[in-house]
Amino acid sequence: MKRSLRHDFFRLLAAACVVLIGALDGFAEQPIRVVTTLSTFADLAKAIGGDRVDVASIAPAKFNAHFIEPKPSDVLRVKRAQLFINAGLDLELWRGPLLDAAGNVSIQPNQPGELDLSRGIQLLEVPDHPVSRAEGDMHLYGNPHYWTDPENGRVMAQAIADKLAEIDPAHREEYKQRLQEWTARLDAKLPEWKSRLSAASPKEVVGYHNEWPYLMHFLGLRMEAFLEPKPGIPPTPKQIERLETYVREKSVKAIVQPTYVPRQAADSLAKRTGATVVVLCQNVGELPTCGDYIGMVEHNVASLAAAMAP
């Protein structure tokens, strides 16, 4: 009898250990809590992290990401985040206050839980003289809209894979594998995208806000005239008049704008000149056809190609 009691005790203990180990294991397998500023970065983080990550993004794709007002629920998410992926520079003018409000030390700039994707990017339009926001400009450290160039997409995906492996080294191989698969899909499209507008003439395109220099650089196009007289300053009748002359002189065919700014200025310029308004996605999810990063680039390249066909 005594022996049987002892036997039962050890069996119970063994069962308890199995449950405990299972619970600890389950805890260790909790997905990494990732918060991104942009939906585009969230799409990349999901592609590379798979079911190892739980990703939320802050800026809705249909809004201007410079001027988002984070909600209390965003502050809470950032407070609990293990990885905070952002564009850096002065893209998210709300990033500093959000980080202050969240008070999460591990995801502050240059901490292990922070990933500023601008760091690996060759920036365009870095000012060679001091500029201030008082002049209306808001790209003080170089143009921050770098993710629109698919070659930068590859750099960003690599940076995300490296960071996930650093945070979660046990699954390094998984991240590497997903990165390879994703990059192979991107690389398969790059030559076709790159040559798609090589015959376009003229090369000039008009934009609303100066947020496409990286895509233009990739496609071999030029966008040097904008409906905004300065980045962040809405179009004025005088600016539209100025552009009318420019569009006629250069025979510009495309006026590019995202979904989240009013269309009147672009429509008015198009009506006066015969150019076409082309709605491109600045971020993943802005239009149904821009459901993921590769789909977004495809939409942008195809839309420009259609408007600029000879």
The contact set with Zn ion (CB under 5 A) reads: 211
Least distance in angstroms from the C-beta of 171 to Zn ion: 35
Which lies closer to Zn ion via its Cβ, residue 114 or residue 211?
211
Backbone dihedral angles phi then psi of residue 209, each to the nearest 5 degrees: -115, 150
Least distance in angstroms from the C-beta of 300 to Zn ion: 16
Cis peptide leading into residue 310 (ω within 30°): no
Which lies closer to Zn ion via its Cβ, residue 146 or residue 182?
146
210 half-sphere exposure, CB direction, 13 A CA radius: 20
Which lies closer to Zn ion via its Cβ, residue 146 or residue 175?
146
Least distance in angstroms from the C-beta of 193 to Zn ion: 23
Backbone dihedral angles phi then psi of residue 124, each to the nearest 5 degrees: -105, 155
Nearest CA among 240, 232, 207, 239 for reference residue 137: 232
Give the dihedral of Cα atoms 121, 125, 127, 131; nearest 10 deg: -110
- The sheet carrying 254-257 orders its strands as 222-226, 204-207, 254-257, 276-279
Evaluate whether 291 touches 285 at the Cβ level (below 8 Å).
yes
Least distance in angstroms from the C-beta of 224 to Zn ion: 15
Least distance in angstroms from the C-beta of 231 to Zn ion: 5
CA separation for the pair 124, 142 (Å, rounded): 6
Which lies closer to Zn ion via its Cβ, residue 174 or residue 211?
211
Please give the angle made by the CA atoms of 199, 201 and 202, to the nearest 5 degrees.
Answer: 145
CA separation for the pair 37, 56 (Å, rounded): 9
Least distance in angstroms from the C-beta of 37 to Zn ion: 13
DSSP label at 173?
H
Least distance in angstroms from the C-beta of 218 to Zn ion: 18
Which lies closer to Zn ion via its Cβ, residue 273 or residue 282?
282
CA separation for the pair 263, 8 (Å, rounded): 76
Which lies closer to Zn ion via its Cβ, residue 61 or residue 107?
61
DSSP label at 234?
P
Which lies closer to Zn ion via its Cβ, residue 74 or residue 211?
211
Which residue number is nearest to Zn ion in terms of Cβ?
211
